[in-house]
Structure 1
Amino acid sequence: MKNKILNIFSILCALLFLNGGLNKVFNYIPVPTDLPAALVADNAAFMEIAWLMPLVAVAEILGGLLLIFRKTRALGAIILFPIMIGIVLIHATVAPSGLPLAIGLFLILGWIMLENKNKYLSLLD
């Protein structure tokens, strides 16, 4: 039962990251007009670094695809973890309205990483 729940959460998390990465490439979700000024300034600063958003988009798409399959889920979680830290920090400091979803995704990634801890521990040996 626990594996089925983790599979469902992993696929949902993967779909959210795939959507976020594809949106960074194709810009199909309109940007809300009521964003906090600090968030707009942060996004403008991120856009100043020309290679940053394409790199994040590729990482989100690749990580999302890897999260879907059980064999590659541990690698997908490792790829998405630094991006998830940034998402949580942005929502904790600038846009707290998205913090519950960010924390939920963070917990799902943490659960995936906890379930695959043996794969990560072998990297440290």
Structure 2
Amino acid sequence: MKIVKFILSLLFGLMFINAGLSKFFHYMPMPELSPEQMEVYQAFEKLKWITPLAGIVEIIGGVLFIFPKTRALGAIVIFPVMIGIVAHNYTFEPSGLTIAVPLLLINLWVIFDNRSRYRKLIA
């Protein structure tokens, strides 16, 4: 089970690192956007700080998620981004849930698996 968790964590982390880097270097193609999605995208473009912030959080969270020693922190850092991804896909792109939901489940698994570490923070 340990090797499965490592492989899933590695792939999860690399996906977020890739997504974060793409926010800075724009190498991933932009999908066709509906008018509603275009409004959201334009709003994010007006808030010049939000896309770089999301990119930095994705990169840091992805790197932390890969390594067992920092995985618990990475899972917490990535969790709000993951909720946003699921909410966005649920609202605008339901077909994306086939990827977003398994990623959310991996994130929740790691959070649950590290619950004893989090207890120390709130005790």
Q: Give the share of equivalent positions with the same residue, in percent.
A: 44
Contact 1:21 1:58 in 2 (8 A): yes
The 2-side partners of 1:8 and 1:64 are apart by 13
- Whether 1:123 aligns to 2:121 is yes
Matched, 1:20 2:19: yes
Root-mean-square deviation (Å): 0.9
Structure 1 residue runs of 5 or longer lacking an equivalent are none
Confirm or deny that 1:43 pairs with 2:76.
Answer: no
Q: Deviations over 1:60-81 (max 9, x none)?
A: 0000001110000001111100
After TM superposition, the runs of 4+ consecutive aligned structure 1 residues lying more than 4 A away are none
Q: Which residue of 2 aligns with 1:80?
A: 78
Counterpart CA distance in 2 for 1:35 and 1:5 is 35
Deviation at 1:29, TM superposition (A): 1.1
Instruction: Give the count of matched residue pairs.
Output: 123
Q: Distance in 2 between matches of 1:6 and 1:39?
A: 34
Instruction: Supply the AA of the counterpart residue of 1:19.
Output: N
What is the alpha-carbon distance in structure 2 between the residues aligned to residue 74 and residue 61 of structure 1? 15
Q: CA deviation at 1:40?
A: 2.1
CA distance in 1: counterparts of 2:37 and 2:2, whole angstroms:
37
1:102 maps onto 2:100 in alignment = yes
When the two structures are superposed, what TM-score results if normalisation uses the length of structure 1?
0.94
Which of 111, 114, 118 pairs up with 1:113? 111
Unaligned runs of 5+ in 2: none
